[in-house]
Structure 1
Amino acid sequence: MDTQPGLLRCYRHPEAETGVRCARCERPICPQCMIPASVGFQCPECVRNGSGTGHAAGANQPRTLAGGRVAADGRLVTKILMAINLALFIAVQVVGDRLLDDLALIGGGHVVLPNGEPVGVADGEWYRLLTSAFLHQELPHFLFNMLGLWMIGGIVEPELGRIRYAALCLLSALSGSTLAYLLSPHTQFSLGASGMVYGLIGAWIVLARRRRQDMRPALLFVALNLLITFTRPGISWEAHIGGLVAGVLVTYAMVHAPRARRDLVQYGACGLVLLIDLGIVLARSAALT
Structure 2
Amino acid sequence: MNKYLCGKGFDLIAGRFYRYITASFLHENLFHLAANCLGLYFITIYLDGKINSVAIAVFAIISATVSNMIFSLIYRWTESFVGGSVIIYSIIGLIVIMQLRCRDSAPFMLGTWYGNWTLGYFILANVINGSAKRADISSIMIHGISFAVGMVIGAIILITGMIRV
Q: Say yes or no: TM over 0.5.
A: yes
Q: Distance in 2 between matches of 1:179 and 1:213?
A: 31
Cross-structure match for 2:24: 133
* SS across alignment from 2:83: coil
Q: Distance in 1 between matches of 2:126 and 2:141?
A: 14
* SS across alignment from 2:28: coil
Greater RCO, CA 8 A, separation 6+ = 2
- Quick one: structure 1 residues 227 and 157, their matched pair in 2 at CA, closer, same or farther if it must change by over 3 Å? same
- Identity across the alignment (%): 20
Contact 1:171 1:246 (8 Å CA) reproduced? no
Name the amino acid aligned to 2:144: I
- Quick one: structure 1 residues 160 and 188, their matched pair in 2 at CA, closer, same or farther if it must change by over 3 Å? same
Q: Distance in 1 between matches of 2:24 and 2:38?
A: 15
Unaligned 5+ runs, structure 2: none
Contact 1:190 1:236 (8 Å CA) reproduced? no
Length, aligned pairs only? 151
Q: Distance in 2 between matches of 1:179 and 1:200?
A: 17
Shift in Å at residue 198 of structure 1?
0.4
Q: Distance in 2 between matches of 1:202 and 1:225?
A: 17
- Quick one: structure 1 residues 214 and 198, their matched pair in 2 at CA, closer, same or farther if it must change by over 3 Å? closer
Point out the structure with max Rg over C-alpha: 1
Shift in Å at residue 192 of structure 1?
0.6
Shift in Å at residue 154 of structure 1?
2.8
* SS across alignment from 1:236: helix
Select which of 125, 133, 143 maps to 1:240.
143
Q: Distance in 2 between matches of 1:157 and 1:102?
A: 34
Select which of 152, 159, 162 maps to 1:249.
152
Matches within 5 A, 1:14-29: none
Contact 2:6 2:82 (8 Å CA) reproduced? yes
Cross-structure match for 2:77: 186
Cα deviation digits, residues 128-158 of structure 1 (max 9, x gap): 0001110012111111111111111232253
Matches within 5 A, 1:148-167: 148-167=39-58
Contact 2:20 2:68 (8 Å CA) reproduced? yes
Select which of 95, 102, 105 maps to 2:7.
105
Contact 1:173 1:195 (8 Å CA) reproduced? yes
Q: Distance in 1 between matches of 2:51 and 2:139?
A: 28
Shift in Å at residue 229 of structure 1?
6.9
Contact 1:103 1:128 (8 Å CA) reproduced? yes
Q: Distance in 2 between matches of 1:142 and 1:159?
A: 26
* SS across alignment from 1:126: coil
Matches within 5 A, 1:52-71: none
Q: Which has the higher strand share?
A: 1
Name the amino acid aligned to 2:64: A
